[in-house]
Amino acid sequence: MYINNLRLILVFCMIFITTTSLFVSAKEIPEEAQKVLHNFIQEGGQTLEIEWNEITDTPSNLHGRLTQPSSHTSTWIAYELLNRFKTLYGISNPYRDLKVAAVTTSDDLHIVRLQHLLFNTPVWGDQLVIEIDKAGIVHRISGTIYPRLDKQLFYRPMVAAISEKKAVQIAVDALRDKVTLFTTAETSLYYLPTRKGNPLVYAVTFRFRNQPAKTLTTMVHALTGKIIPY
């Protein structure tokens, strides 16, 4: 998925910062998000680097000293910070709308990966990665989140009209004479955030027989059964 990021380097030092200079420096950022960032900087007095995604209108990268040291678990730290930043990402409840997909640990870093959920169904391509050092300090949040998707669907989940089996058959038929090159690996329901109208799709992923690590994913609309470009 093509993401066009507007890179904004906002370096704030509390000795020099004023409300006016923040708003001028961050004029491309929505006013509500500016307030969240301004309050965060006022409280902590830290420098903050921001990359703003013009497509989603949410941060694609927040870098700096984002929390104080903590002895809590990495997932607890991640959720607490995201609850504070939920307005930035257009998420009403991070504990419900973000699911831990993986936690990896190295000698000096914990990395928490979270999958965006909408009505308990994953949103295609929407993930956040939280980097936390051994002292429990968050240094970076990166990733893509499409905001307020529940509002776009009038706060009602979509229901598939075709079965998973039918979706697989449609995807197989779309491969035509190339079908022998693949094996079916996985089929899951997703919300496709870039699609207007009803965004519920089946993602049917095929693996190449001779290259199992290589995959091809076909999107099948969960209501109409049509192949969806993405």
pLDDT in tens, 123-169: 999 999 999 999 999 999 999 999 999 999 999 999 999 999 999 99
Task: Report the number of distinct structural domains present in the chain.
Answer: 2
Assigned domain for 154 exists: no
198 in the same domain as 141: no
138 in the same domain as 108: yes
Assigned domain for 110 exists: yes
Nearest 10 degrees: Cα torsion 11, 15, 18, 22: 10
98 in the same domain as 53: yes
DSSP at 26: T
Assigned domain for 153 exists: no
34 in the same domain as 90: yes
| Higher local confidence (pLDDT), 6 or 68 | 68
Point out the domain boundary residue: 148, 180, 198.
148
Residue in 120, 137, 142 with CA at minimum distance from that of residue 56 = 142
136 in the same domain as 23: yes
Assigned domain for 108 exists: yes
**pLDDT band for position 184 (cuts 50, 70, 90):** confident
Q: 145, 75 in Cβ contact below 8 A?
A: no
Assigned domain for 11 exists: yes
User: Which residue range forms the structural domain that includes residue 177?
Assistant: 164-228
Assigned domain for 98 exists: yes
**pLDDT band for position 118 (cuts 50, 70, 90):** very high
Q: Which two tokens stand for residue 16?
A: 């020099």
Assigned domain for 155 exists: no
Point out the domain boundary residue: 148, 183, 218.
148
